[in-house]
Amino acid sequence: MKKLTVILCESIVALSLILPVTAMAASEGETAPLFTLPDIDADKPAISLESLRGKTVYVDFWASWCAPCLRSMPLINELYGKYRDQDFEVIAINVDDPIEDGQDFLLDNPLDYLIAADTDNTVLNEFGVTGMPTSFLIDKDGVIRMVHMGFRGNDIETIEAAVLELLE
């Protein structure tokens, strides 16, 4: 547990050193900021939050250097596999610079959901993200229904319960 706490703290400290806080964090009950970002694979089309209106969307900010992010992603992938046929989408937004760091991680850990690249942190700042990972569960009308920061062992159960509530 002590090692996990150190890794999480190091990740948050590292993030705070590279990201200026320019906006208040997007909060539950607010409309999610709209964005269009390139796919991490430049050969794929851009990813737009607005194009997913009418679906429940889990937006997850991550970086290859963030250990909790890397633990959460395969679990989010399983969750996506369970509910993708029920109008559930996931957009993982990678903030690595250089982007090759995120691409290298994905070569060894392929994921089924959408993965966008935000190398200049524009969208990260619009959402007011201050730690990694941070995720936003957005309902079919574009309203943020859950904000989740960090990732611990049984967090996936909390996330799944919130997803199910919106899908019903």
Q: Check: CB of residue 147 under 8 Å from CB of residue 33.
A: no
Q: Check: CB of residue 148 under 8 Å from CB of residue 155.
A: yes
Angle at 12 between CA 90 and CA 146, to 5 degrees: 35
How does pLDDT run along the chain (168 residues), one tens digit per residue?
A: 444 433 444 444 344 434 444 445 788 989 999 999 999 998 999 999 999 999 999 999 999 999 999 999 999 999 999 999 999 999 999 999 999 999 999 998 899 999 999 999 999 999 999 999 999 999 999 999 999 999 998 999 999 999 999 998
> What is the distance between the alpha carbons of residues 21 and 138, in angstroms, rounded to a whole number?
22
Name the burial class of residue 41, with classes exposed (0-12), middle (13-18) and buried (19+) by CB atoms within 10 angstroms of its CB: exposed
Question: pLDDT tens digit string along 99-127?
Answer: 999 999 999 889 999 999 999 999 999 99
DSSP letter (8 states) at residue 39: B
Q: Is the dihedral of CA 138, 62, 97, 7 positive or negative?
A: positive
Question: How many domains does one find in the chain?
Answer: 1
Which CATH number belongs to the domain containing residue 130 in this structure?
A: 3.40.30.10
The whole domain housing 60 covers: 2-167
